Amino acid sequence: MGIPRSLGGFAGIPNTFEWWLAPALAVVGGPGEGGASRAADPMEYVLMLVAIGLAVLGILAARAFYRRPSTLPLSAARAAGPLYPLVANKYWVDELYDATVLRAYYGAAALADAFDRWVIDGLVNAVAAFTELIGQILRLFQTGFARNYALLILIGAVVLVWALGR
């Protein structure tokens, strides 16, 4: 059984680490399609060693540049010319992202906020104000006295009979 080649690190070492992971991983291919039974290609080991060597060289170069205070980083930056600000500013990807995606996002968020404040909250507040007004009007007719309620029922009955009698 083989493991997917997309996994990095030790999982990519042919026929050494993948046997340990085989019970936990699905079969990538059948026999002859990259399974653990295939022979390791020597080029894989060469490329692994080259990648590790380049990483170590990068670490050592950074250590030589920045270990002690020196003018080496400044002189290297001057020698790089316009390439240095391009790399130092990370190709201005953050500025481009801010100018395109984030400004559009903030504009849409401000529009949604205004819609929520003026339309949604406005409708909710208008319904609340209308309910309050109706409550204040109906409050005038609610006295707590039974004779007032009886009088209102009588007036309602007279109006009903008059309206139906027309």
d(C-alpha 111, C-alpha 109), whole Å:
5
Mean pLDDT along residues 135-142: 89
Is residue 136 a part of any domain in this protein?
yes
Average model confidence (pLDDT) for the chain?
84
| Residue 18: CB atoms within 10 Å | 22
Tokens 């009588």 sit on residue: 154
Query: Is the pTM for the entire model greater than 0.85?
Result: no
Q: Which CATH number does the domain housing residue 129 bear?
A: 1.20.5
Q: What is the pLDDT of residues 96-134, one digit of tens each?
A: 999 999 999 999 999 999 999 999 999 999 999 999 999
Is residue 140 a part of any domain in this protein?
yes
Is residue 44 a part of any domain in this protein?
no
The shares of helix, strand and coil residues in the chain, as percent rounded to the nearest 5, are: 75, 0, 25
Is residue 122 a part of any domain in this protein?
yes
Count of domains observed in the chain = 1
Query: Domain range spanning residue 131?
Result: 89-166
Is residue 20 a part of any domain in this protein?
no
Q: Is-contact 29 8, C-beta < 8 A?
A: no
- Tell me 17's DSSP state: T
